[in-house]
Amino acid sequence: GWDQTLCEFQQEHAEELREHRISLRHFVTFGLLRGFLERIDKALTQEEMRELQTLRTNTIRRKQELREQGMNNEKVNKEPQIKALVARMNALKAKECKLPRPGLESLESSWASHPGG
């Protein structure tokens, strides 16, 4: 499944996007129109989207509290509450990532056949 934000994808594939003269906006639009990408809001219900956002916020807040108490990152990540929050977050992320993760290679052939591509 897709395991990156668009920003992370853009940073990782910046050279390829530049080489093919493709903006991230056009890449995403083309992927959505051709069915290579799926909107997250179609994979998660509104309630699940709110839960995911709350989990992200709570995880960050709790990690910060633990670090302020003197815990190092390794211990923070092993703390039971953090592990439970992260496990639920990962379950929701997995649901929002139903489709296989697209790569530039999989879109290249379709893009090449696209008029103006």
CA nearest to 42, candidates 32, 34, 51: 32
Taken in order 31, 37, 42, 47, the sign of the CA dihedral is negative
CA nearest to 17, candidates 115, 100, 101, 107: 107
pLDDT of res. 42: 59
Q: What tens digit of pLDDT does each residue of 65-111 get?
A: 999 999 999 999 999 999 999 999 988 887 766 544 445 444 555 55
Domain ranges of the chain: 1-38+100-117, 45-98
CA nearest to 115, candidates 37, 30, 32, 46: 30
pTM of the model: 0.49
**Four-CA torsion 79, 83, 86, 92, nearest 10 degrees:** -160
Range in 1-5, 17-21, 49-53 with the lowest mean pLDDT: 1-5
How many Å apart are CA 52 and CA 48, to the nearest integer?
A: 6
Residue bearing tokens 């994979």 = 43
